[in-house]
Amino acid sequence: MTDLPDLKPAARQLASLLERVADEQLAAPTPCTEYTLGDLIDHVGGLSLAFTAAAAKDFSLTGGGPSGDAARLPDDWRTRIPEQLAALAEAWREPAAWEGMTQAGGVQLPGAVAGNVAMNELVVHGWDIAKATGQQFRCDADSLKASLEFVAMSATRDRSPDSPFGPPLEASPEATPLDKLISLTGRDPAWQA
């Protein structure tokens, strides 16, 4: 497989956002309506471990469903989760991660699909955290393109209840690629805390 997506820029952006979250912001709402900011950060910590294991085809850490409980955040989450995100990006640099079958969140899927899910999680949850904390979100063009292509393939108005996305919202014709991506996930690009 050539030209593998590089998860490192999106992982770095998300890590940078996390490092600037204040404790008093952890109870804040997010565009991911079922999560407070603290819940979402716990979810990011869990997915970073699960998708690192998925890249290595280590199924011992990939069987559970998504996490999302601020009460489980360790005291060192501001350093631990960025380290986990760096390990996630590094694991997906291996061509073997993108080949064959793997598992994440209790779901078996092709490695290439799992890698694209991981990229999308980094980009979309990075945007969620930026919006919830009033930080600027920056996404490199390659990460945004990969995430938009992945979500566009799975976007339907009648998503199943198990879908990680809500029904897609209509994006304006002049919407930016980022706004199109966010709309396809069922989030409002103009969301504010």
DSSP symbols for 50-105:
HHHHHHHT-GGGS-S-----GGG--TTHHHHHHHHHHHHHHHTTSGGGGSSEEEET
Separation of alpha carbons 48 and 46, rounded Å: 5
In a domain, 188, yes or no: no
In a domain, 146, yes or no: no
Q: What pLDDT sits at residue 114?
A: 95
pLDDT, mean of residues 155-166 = 58
pLDDT tens digits for range 95-106: 999 999 999 888
Separation of alpha carbons 107 and 93, rounded Å: 22
Could you tell me the pLDDT band of residue 154, with boundaries at 50, 70 and 90? confident
In a domain, 108, yes or no: yes
In a domain, 107, yes or no: yes
In a domain, 160, yes or no: no
| Percent of the chain surpassing pLDDT 90 | 77
In a domain, 193, yes or no: no
Total of domains in the chain: 1
In a domain, 149, yes or no: no
Domain that holds residue 33: 8-138
**Higher pLDDT, residue 38 or 61:** 38
With a cut of 60, say whether residue 27 has pLDDT above it.
Answer: yes
Q: What pLDDT sits at residue 37?
A: 98
pLDDT tens digits for range 104-142: 888 899 999 999 999 999 999 999 999 999 999 999 999
CATH number at residue 37: 1.20.120.450
| Percent of the chain surpassing pLDDT 70 | 91
In a domain, 189, yes or no: no
